[in-house]
Amino acid sequence: MSGIACSPRATTARCSPFFRGRTMHDTHNITSLMTMLVLQLAAILVATRIVGHLAQRYLKQPRVMGEMVAGMIIGPFALGALRLPGLGVPLFPVAEGLIPVSPQLYGFSVVASIVLLFLAGLETDLPTFLKFSGLGGVVGLGGVVVSFVVGALVAVLMLPGVQSVAHPSALFLGVLATATSVGITARILSEQKKMATPEAVTILSAAVLDDVIGIILLAVVVGVVQTEAAGGTLDWAAIGMVALKAFGFWLIATVLGILIAPRLTRGLKAFQSMEVTVGTTFGIALFLAGLSEMVGLAMIIGAYVAGLSLSQTDVAHELQERMSGVYEFLVPIFFAVMGMMVDFRALGPVLVVGAVYAVAVILAKVVGAGVPALLTGFTPRGALRVGAGMLPRGEVSLIIAGIGLSSGAIGADLFGVAVLTMLVSTLVAPPILVRSFQGAPGFRRRTEEKGAGEMTTVGLEFPSAITADFFRRSLVRSFRDEEFFVYRVDHQQTLYHIRKDDIHITLRQDSGRIEVTTSPRHEQYVRLMMVEETLQLKEMLDSLQTMSRPDAMGQSLLGGLLD
């Protein structure tokens, strides 16, 4: 074997029959690495699609949970450690260093995290964020502050060697506790016909502030970790400077981005190619992601700023639609890689810590978001609804955990705790939310009490899903033309949340049926919008029926095929 010794611990590609007989240089060349990468991607895509579908269809859980579980199953700490026949080595051997997967595969997950946060920025309602002085802002801020403090205190009280909340591990666990993913909440509220209730409006509004503060906190923590790694001293003054630097970068980049984005998109339109626009804007997102890493912050901050800057341009919707293919390919890889990094062996000693942390941060989120809601007009039941709606954790918490692991701020044990917390909170939130919405309205202000819990649904049945799809696209476009903010709740479902000022609308398509849900006082406006789109659809169908000799046109086309 050309002098290459294959010890029992040698699980790299150089000891595989697939590569046997080559020199050491050949066994580590780019072709060998890319071959393993392609095989790994193939296994990940197949496993995530199957397990994700099963989780969504039969267990009624988010597809991302199935994708993460798939990564755990086929990863280096489970089936991925087995030697494959014909390959002679494990498909997912444990890599050396802080990250247990190969750098190439981890690189895919990093790009996927950039895509996730770029799209999250695109979907952010910037006008709502800029006027955040109301109830949603109070609830979001309360949830973030209480969750961060509780998460950091659990680390101080239960982790050996962590003496202060300024310790990187405590800071990371604090930031992890703040993350919220309202996609699950929005789907439940839509199914329960509760999207226009005061509780739902508050949850969705608070989520905007929650995301932004979480991103800024992550920037601060990354800066603290890098300061400590460089040998700098850590005190509250140093942390304050890091926080100022992080917030300053975010604020300056966001303001400049908002000012430049309209001019940029107008200039790109001169190419008369949406492919150029999409490619250029995503390239800018990658550039800002790299730039934020260079200045000592996390890549996802630059990606989020890029998306946020473009969110109010007239190409934002088109960017979301065109990026959906990239999302569908990369994001399952991200969740699978996050699952692969869970070392089951390291979980044993910290199971108690993980259980305490999960329970503590769940209660902290409910209390932190619920108490401000209780003090600003909600009943105890309504406050519970708001707190439960802020519980689910998703991709952002995993990204934060991955950054903590790759930077060395947390180990494999605490990474497993983060994943465990995400799973528990996502499983616990839906039943609490559904049960809490049973009963009386949850808002006690007289001005809101009348009809606060009432919803009206306007439904239309179309002869085919194609016709319904055409009508839905046209209606969504009309809402955007009227300067509504349109947010697609889930990339895999035809469910939209549409809002402007105090108007909140839910649009759902199920095959050939379209349902639009809103409050009774906005029903007339919604009906007028739908009537207008129906008339336009009828006009188009009438024009098709008046086509001259359509049968002859069809015969002519078929005849050309047979010639």
Report pTM: 0.73
3-state helix, strand, coil in the chain (%, to 5): 70, 5, 25
Shared domain for 541 and 497, answered yes or no, is yes
Q: Give which of 443, 365, 363, 435 is closest to 200, Cα–Cα.
A: 443
Shared domain for 432 and 499, answered yes or no, is no
For residues 95 and 76, give the distance between their C-alpha atoms in angstroms, rounded to a whole number.
9
Shared domain for 390 and 479, answered yes or no, is no
| DSSP state for residue 236 in the 8-state scheme | H
Shared domain for 499 and 424, answered yes or no, is no
For residues 163 and 20, give the distance between their C-alpha atoms in angstroms, rounded to a whole number.
51
Would you say residue 556 lies in a domain? Answer: no
Is-contact 443 379, C-beta < 8 A?
A: yes
Residue 312 maps to which CATH number? 1.20.1530.20
Q: Given this model, what pLDDT does residue 194 score?
A: 75
Q: Given this model, what pLDDT does residue 230 score?
A: 67
Looking up tokens 């105090």, which residue turns up? 502
Shared domain for 498 and 349, answered yes or no, is no
Residue 506 maps to which CATH number? 3.30.310.10
Q: Which long-range contacts (CB under 8 A, 24 or more apart) does 321-326 make?
A: 322/274, 322/275, 322/278, 323/115, 323/118, 323/119, 323/278, 323/282, 324/491, 326/115, 326/282
Would you say residue 279 lies in a domain? Answer: yes
The residues facing 504 across adjacent strands are: 499
SS3 (DSSP) at 306: helix
Shared domain for 281 and 352, answered yes or no, is yes
- pLDDT of the chain, 563 residues: tens digit per residue: 334 344 444 444 444 444 444 444 554 578 888 999 999 999 999 999 999 999 888 887 778 888 989 999 999 999 999 988 877 789 999 988 778 899 999 999 999 989 988 987 887 766 655 554 466 778 888 999 999 999 999 999 988 888 888 888 888 899 889 887 766 676 677 667 776 677 877 887 777 677 677 777 877 787 777 777 666 666 667 677 777 877 788 788 888 998 999 999 989 988 888 899 999 999 999 999 998 888 777 788 889 889 989 988 878 878 888 888 888 889 899 989 989 988 888 888 888 888 999 999 999 999 999 999 888 888 898 899 899 888 887 677 888 888 888 877 788 888 888 888 888 887 888 888 888 887 777 776 544 444 445 678 888 999 888 888 889 989 988 888 887 877 776 666 678 878 777 787 888 888 889 989 888 888 899 999 999 988 888 888 777 777 656 666 666 666 666 65
Total count of domains within the chain: 2
For residues 372 and 75, give the distance between their C-alpha atoms in angstroms, rounded to a whole number.
42
For residues 424 and 49, give the distance between their C-alpha atoms in angstroms, rounded to a whole number.
22
Q: Give which of 182, 223, 163 is closest to 495, Cα–Cα.
A: 182
| DSSP state for residue 95 in the 8-state scheme | P
Shared domain for 210 and 315, answered yes or no, is yes
Last residue of a domain, one of 386, 404, 436: 436
Would you say residue 107 lies in a domain? Answer: no
Last residue of a domain, one of 436, 471, 488: 436
Question: Residue 496 is part of which domain span?
Answer: 458-545
Q: Given this model, what pLDDT does residue 8 score?
A: 41
Q: What are phi and psi of 497, to 5 degrees?
A: -115, 125
Would you say residue 333 lies in a domain? Answer: no
Shared domain for 272 and 397, answered yes or no, is yes
Shared domain for 429 and 501, answered yes or no, is no
Q: Going by DSSP bridges, is the β-strand pair 503-510/495-500 parallel, antiparallel, or unpaired?
A: antiparallel
Looking up tokens 């947010």, which residue turns up? 487
Q: What are phi and psi of 157, to 5 degrees?
A: -80, -25
Would you say residue 371 lies in a domain? Answer: yes
Would you say residue 352 lies in a domain? Answer: yes
Would you say residue 296 lies in a domain? Answer: yes
Shared domain for 394 and 504, answered yes or no, is no
Shared domain for 257 and 302, answered yes or no, is yes
How far lies 545's CA from each of 165, 421, 431, 542, 551, in Å?
71, 58, 50, 5, 11
Shared domain for 406 and 466, answered yes or no, is no
In the sheet that holds 485-488, the strands lie side by side as 456-461, 513-518, 503-510, 495-500, 485-488
Would you say residue 251 lies in a domain? Answer: yes
